Amino acid sequence: MEPFPRPLLAEMVSDAVPGSLLLAVRHLPEGSSALARELIVSSATGEQRRLILRCFTTGWQGSPQSKVERESLVLSTLIGSGLPVPQAVFSDPQGRWLGVPAIMQTRLPGRVWWPRAASRSGAIAMGRVLAAIHSWPKPPGLPSARGWVQWTIGHERSRAGWADHPQAAAIEEAIVPALGRVLRRRHVLSHGDFNAGNVLWLRGELSGVLDWEAAESAPPAADVGACRFDLAVTIGTAASDAFVEGYGTGDRDLWFWELLTALKFISFYQEWLAVWHRFGLPQLDRRTVRRRIDEAIADALRRAA
């Protein structure tokens, strides 16, 4: 059952974009972070626009309210950057309209398609756009990566997801002594969840970077290491290496962020399988993903040593 009645959405659109009318509501393929709808809207002059409504209900990587606030802040900051990101049209962090925090933004052309990132040119393009993001001035007010890093390592709820892995102790022994040193590195505008699932492609070219609700202040290696690990597991090491090449520089701390990402994968990869299947990787199964996770962990531990 549709959680948001169309008359309510129409009223919200009219309030958010004065003079506009809601023409249609379309479901979008679901990712793992938000409930999304495409809204077809007409302006007072009759011009049609395609907007994306994103609604947050879960507390993963921050409260629903903080996710809307972060995404709105970053998208406003990136206006004029030339980067392929949406433009925020309306935000409701308190959930006054729909009962849940929500943000409305312009729809970018293209679609999420993991196999495009599997090509060398695609992975390089992802690295280059991430480097451009990191070069843009970081807005004040973003939370530090320190919070989620400490939560991932120390919170009982987080530890329950990965503590039984055979390499859990080795990962913790590598991460904990390096934590203070790594987090003191120069911080940049970090996407916070940069991976092939948050990138759009149009006719083979990278056309958009989406889902900024986890944006934060973090060392550059936080995004690079997380995406490198993600690509190694979902696609393979050739793509992960091409991505780092596209970014333009290696970092001695990549292993740290890869191991932190590994803890997330251990906890959630079975839930993420459906998302990977939906966006172009139907061949992935639990055994393959688990093997690749273990291989990527072993590689990161070798570099940590």
Same domain, 19 and 119: no
The H or E element containing residue 14 is helix 6-16
Q: Taking residues 4-25, what's their average pLDDT? A: 92
**pLDDT tens per residue, range 71-94:** 999 999 999 999 999 999 999 999
Boundary-marking domain end, from 54, 71, 106:
106
Domain limits at 44?
A: 6-106
pLDDT at 30: 63
pLDDT at 189: 98
Lowest mean pLDDT among 44-58, 133-147, 164-178: 44-58
Burial 67-87 (b: 16+ CB within 10 A, else e): bbbbbbbbbebbeeeeebbbe
Domain-embedded: residue 142: yes
Average pLDDT of the chain is 94
pLDDT at 29: 72
**pLDDT tens per residue, range 209-251:** 999 999 999 999 999 999 999 999 999 999 999 999 999 977 7
- C-alpha 284: how far from chain center: 20
CATH of the domain at 262: 3.90.1200.10
Domain-embedded: residue 99: yes
If phi > 0 it is left, if psi is from -120 to 50 it is alpha, else beta; for residue 288 that is: alpha
32 band by pLDDT with thresholds 50, 70 and 90: low
The pairs formed by 277-283 with CB atoms below 8 angstroms and a separation of 24 or more are: 278/29, 278/30, 279/29, 279/112, 279/113, 279/114, 279/196, 279/197, 280/113, 280/114, 280/115, 280/116, 281/114, 281/115, 281/234, 281/235
Q: Which two tokens stand for residue 113?
A: 């398609």
Question: DSSP 3-state assignment of 188?
Answer: strand
The H or E element containing residue 24 is strand 21-27
Same domain, 292 and 166: yes
Same domain, 164 and 227: yes
Domain-embedded: residue 1: no
Q: What are phi and psi of 92, to 5 degrees?
A: -135, 75
Boundary-marking domain end, from 75, 106, 137:
106
Residue pointed to by tokens 């990101």: 85
Using the predicted structure, report yes or no on whether residue 27 has a pLDDT greater than 90. Answer: no
pLDDT at 1: 54
Boundary-marking domain end, from 106, 133, 156:
106
Burial 207-219 (b: 16+ CB within 10 A, else e): ebbbbbbbbbbbb
| Nearest residue to 32 (alpha-carbon basis) of 214, 171, 261 | 214
pLDDT at 234: 97
Using the predicted structure, report yes or no on whether residue 46 has a pLDDT greater than 90. Answer: no
Residue pointed to by tokens 């793509």: 239
In the chain, how many domains are there? 2
Domain-embedded: residue 133: yes
**pLDDT tens per residue, range 155-203:** 999 999 999 999 999 999 999 999 999 999 999 999 999 999 999 999 9
Same domain, 282 and 171: yes
Q: Taking residues 102-109, what's their average pLDDT? A: 96
The H-assigned helical ranges of 34-167 are 64-77, 114-118, 120-135, 146-154, 156-162
Same domain, 92 and 165: no
Same domain, 124 and 200: yes
Same domain, 270 and 236: yes
Same domain, 191 and 213: yes
Same domain, 170 and 265: yes
